[in-house]
Structure 1
Amino acid sequence: MTRGNQRDLARAKNQKKQAEQTKGKRTDGMTVEQRKAREFLSMREKQKKKDEEAAAAGKSK
């Protein structure tokens, strides 16, 4: 073995790199459809709140 432990070090470095790339992805355990439904509901609530605020601002003028 002329390479020594270079192969092992490169393998460990690559595993660490792969782990960091997938770190923030799908941590909630939800499917794509469930996530889309959750986001749709939150956006609908935000829009409803914004419409109510606009209506209240229109009445005060």
Structure 2
Amino acid sequence: MARGNQRIKARAKNLEKQAAQKSKNTKTGSEMQRDKEALAALMRQKQEAANAKKADADAAGGKK
């Protein structure tokens, strides 16, 4: 019966390993789209701020 005990222990170890792994994405299509749009809006804001900062630096420093 030693082999049976090994098999049981191996199954338990494998179940723990599978539980620890990241599962697939559970978001629906609309949730993913909403998250993508929110992230895109944030990136647009950051880009506008960077462009404004660059424009201020160019105006203050002047071009040679």
Q: 1:54 to 1:21 in 2, by over 3 A?
A: same
Counterpart-to-counterpart distance in 2, 1:7 and 1:38: 48
Shift of residue 43, structure 1, vs aligned partner: 0.9
Q: Which runs of 5+ in 1 are unaligned?
A: none
| Alignment RMSD | 2.4
Give the TM-score normalised by structure 1.
0.65
Counterpart-to-counterpart distance in 1, 2:34 and 2:13: 34
Shift of residue 4, structure 1, vs aligned partner: 2.9
Q: How many residues align?
A: 58
Shift of residue 56, structure 1, vs aligned partner: 1.0
Deviations 1:17-57 (A, max 9, x none): 2222216x65xx67321221121112111101111111111
Shift of residue 2, structure 1, vs aligned partner: 5.0
Q: Which has the higher helix share?
A: 2
Q: Which runs of 5+ in 2 are unaligned?
A: none
Q: What is the identity percentage for the equivalent residue pairs of Structure 1 and Structure 2?
A: 40
